[in-house]
Chains A and B, each alone.
Chain A
């Protein structure tokens, strides 16, 4: 049932000219079809390796001379030198890139530091310039008056709240308020 898998591995063994593993060997001994398959592929491989192909055209000296004559006059640049130049250029470009990026990063960090310092300074100065009612002398006076007459302040606040509530209710009523001049 799994012969097609074994055959694939057998073909790979023929390609690479390696011996069969123990598992493949066991299967080939048991399965006749796979054994035939393996032997046929080995035979074809052997034939291909041993029989020299009969091709009429052969490379001869005159043909090689023709090739060499047809080459351009300019000598090709030596491979190793070109490769070395190429590599050194890449290394140079990489180092320049790293240097530039380091400089740019340092500048950016410095500007960030400056900005942070400026922010801190402005916050400190704004804290120094407090509103007038927050002046220590004013705050102390307010605190003192509140402590002296706590009920008076409370009553004053309650009166204000009640007045505002009444005004709100009047605004919510559907009819208009009578004008005092008309009533008179």
Chain B
């Protein structure tokens, strides 16, 4: 990685799609997700010298994406709080399940989990990260990540009427 634009282009080509999906799993507006990902890459480009070469680049990239996504969601929550509260009060996970029964997948249910649980699930099963990498991205202890994964799976099993 030379830090030049040519090399950076390779990074963008390799990771932009997965980052878009990662951000898009929480941010439902496509334009906003694209803005966030663009912001992520700008941050990566500007702070490339801060990257610890001995660590995982993917984990570092997703840490920045996770922070950008969270700051976006925080701003959005402040601006649109009443609307979100109404939406959450009206639509429960069970209702979502019945509405989208024919297209319901376990990932659709996973999107109804809490933000940290769904992020942990996403990073573990979609990005194939191990627990220590997820802990690095989410700035949590490994034990906390294990608890998040465990609770998320238990809740998913409950939603799918699986015996636990």
Contact = CB atoms under 8 A, between A and B. Distances in A.
B41 A67 contact: yes
A133 interface: no
Contacts of A56: 24, 30
Given A55-B25, A57-B21, A83 B49 contact: yes
Interface residues of B, number: 54
A71 B45 contact: yes
Interface string A39-74: 011011101110111111111000110111011100
Nearest to B40: A67
A115 to B, nearest CB: 50
Interface of A: 8, 11-12, 14-16, 36-37, 40-41, 43-45, 47-49, 51-59, 63-64, 66-68, 70-72, 75-80, 82-83
A62 to B, nearest CB: 10
A55 B149 CA distance: 21
Nearest to A43: B162
Contacts of A83: 49, 53
Interface of B: 1-5, 8-9, 12-13, 16-21, 24-25, 30, 33-34, 37-38, 41-42, 45-46, 48-49, 51, 53, 103, 105-108, 110, 121-122, 124-126, 130-131, 146, 149-150, 153-154, 156-157, 160, 162-164
Contacts of B18: 59
A44 B157 CA distance: 7
B125 A72 contact: no
B69 to A, nearest CB: 13
Nearest to B30: A57
Given A63-B34, A75-B4, A45 B24 contact: no
A76 B162 contact: no
B162 A67 contact: no
B1 A79 contact: yes
B164 to A, nearest CB: 6
A76 B17 contact: no
Given A15-B124, A40-B157, A71-B5, A79 B131 contact: no
B46 to A, nearest CB: 7
A72 B3 CA distance: 13
Nearest to B9: A68
A71 B8 contact: yes
Contacts of A51: 105-107
A54 B110 CA distance: 12
Contacts of A67: 12, 16, 37-38, 41
Contacts of B8: 68, 71, 76
A49 B149 contact: no
